[in-house]
Amino acid sequence: MLHSKRPRALVTGVTGQDGSYLADLLLAKGYEVHGVTRRSATDNTDNIRHITDDPALNNERFFLHCSDLNDPFDLQRLLTAARPHEVYNLAGQSHVGLSFKIPKATVETNALGVLNLLEAIRALNLDCRFYQAGSSEMFGGVQNTPQNESTPFHPRSPYGTSKVCAHWLTINYRESYGLFACNGILFNHESPRRGERFVTRKTAAAAARIKLGLQHKLVLGNLDAKRDWGYAPEYVEAMWLMLQQDKPDDYVVATGKAYSVQELVATAFECVDLDWREHVVQDPAFFRPAEVDSLLGDATKAKEKLGWQPRTDFKGLISTIVETELERYEKLTK
């Protein structure tokens, strides 16, 4: 594969929310981007359709590869072909609730997959910088509030546990082999590209469908859980900034404000002039075996060292997702 003199980045999980926004950011900055997606019998490229449909980008500055983090030999082949300057690992099983149902698959992808990728970079002696996508779920049963880079981890799900393992593997390879490897401990971040399993998109879509008479009730679990919610396109900027520093380090990325699921629901239904209490039903089946009551991030380090700042407030974030869902379902009903 012939390469231009452009900076090259490899992004695993490129078809997901974060991967697609990161690809947008990197392409806007002039990168050659190698996106990686899992082999699948179904088309899952909706989030990057605007890129793959653009002849000036697709197979010119954007290249889509099929690979699997659980296949170390294929990872070495991929890295040898792409020769990236930066590697962003955004792949994995990212749904907390689902991780209780498929714990083995979650740990294999989120932890062992990271080990395979780090080991491939080390074995090939690649001169590249590595970003690992961590999660606020690693804090789980929080030891102090707000949570920062020094807060002890106490994961409360197979997902959170797998991310803690990946976090320490990244640090281990940084300290043992001198890899420029960073962990981003990102608190919840959402957008219209969020998967439909997640509570923000699920709630926004339901509010839109109920407004249009396409649905009557929204069934949810714990409404009291609080999360620190930000806007995904802004969070991928922090990922990129981490790999532009002189030294590798780990950073919390968050807004510093927490809202309950009930506040999320109320805001989403307010966007379509509905009273959420008339449409939302709680079902114990949606509660998790171990709940995480509240997560609130302290991104002081990212603000001071990276110059990163969140710009979208909670209401603006939720209204953006609801408006996108409303437009989508209005088109479908015409």
Q: What is the DSSP string of 79-126?
A: HHHH--SEEEE--S---HHHHHHSHHHHHIIIIIHHHHHHHHHHHHT-
Structure confidence at residue 38 (pLDDT): 86
Any idea which residues carry the catalytic annotation? 135, 137, 159
How far is 220 from 222, CA to CA, in rounded Å? 7
Structure confidence at residue 259 (pLDDT): 98
User: For the chain, what percent of residues have pLDDT higher than 70?
Assistant: 98
Helix axes of 72-82 and 113-124: crossing angle, nearest 10 degrees: 50
Contact 158, 100 (CB under 8 A): yes
Give the Cα-Cα-Cα angle 259, 90, 322 (nearest 5 degrees): 40
Q: If you average pLDDT over residues 144-165, what whole number do you get?
A: 96
Structure confidence at residue 326 (pLDDT): 96
Structure confidence at residue 285 (pLDDT): 83
Q: For residue 292, what pLDDT band results from cuts at 50, 70 and 90?
A: confident
Chain-centroid distance, C-alpha 283: 27
Structure confidence at residue 284 (pLDDT): 85
Q: For residue 260, what pLDDT band results from cuts at 50, 70 and 90?
A: very high
> What stretches of the chain show up as alpha helix (H) in DSSP?
17-28, 49-52, 72-82, 96-101, 103-107, 113-124, 158-177, 199-211, 232-242, 261-270, 300-301, 314-333
Ramachandran category for residue 125: left, alpha or beta (phi over 0 → left; psi -120 to 50 → alpha): left
Quickly count: other Cβ atoms within 10 Å of residue 35's Cβ: 26
Query: In this structure, which long-range contacts are made by residues 191-196, counting pairs with CB atoms below 8 Å and at least 24 apart in sequence?
Result: 191/17, 191/21, 191/231, 191/232, 191/233, 191/320, 191/321, 192/320, 192/321, 192/324, 192/325, 193/16, 193/17, 193/20, 193/21, 193/47, 193/232, 194/17, 194/232, 194/321, 195/16, 195/17, 195/94, 195/95
Q: Is 159 helix (H, G, I), strand (E, B) or coil?
A: helix
Residue among 238, 244, 144 at smallest CA distance from 187: 238
How far is 222 from 291, CA to CA, in rounded Å? 9
Residue-wise pLDDT for 195-228, tens only, equals: 988 999 999 999 999 999 999 999 999 999 999 9
Structure confidence at residue 41 (pLDDT): 47
* Average pLDDT over all residues of the chain: 95
Residue among 56, 59, 58, 76 at smallest CA distance from 68: 76
Residue-wise pLDDT for 224-251, tens only, equals: 999 999 999 999 999 999 999 999 999 9
Residue-wise pLDDT for 37-89, tens only, equals: 987 645 689 999 999 999 999 999 999 999 999 999 999 999 999 999 999 99
Residue-wise pLDDT for 264-285, tens only, equals: 999 999 999 999 999 999 988 8
Residue-wise pLDDT for 32-50, tens only, equals: 999 999 876 456 899 999 9
Residue-wise pLDDT for 10-21, tens only, equals: 999 999 999 999
Structure confidence at residue 4 (pLDDT): 63
Half-sphere exposure at residue 266, Cβ-oriented, CA atoms within 13 angstroms? 8
Residue among 218, 239, 334, 299 at smallest CA distance from 31: 239
Structure confidence at residue 42 (pLDDT): 55
| pLDDT at position 94 over 90 | no
Top pLDDT among 196 and 291 is at 196
Structural domains in the chain, sorted by start: 8-190+231-253 (3.40.50.720), 199-227+258-290+312-333 (3.90.25.10)
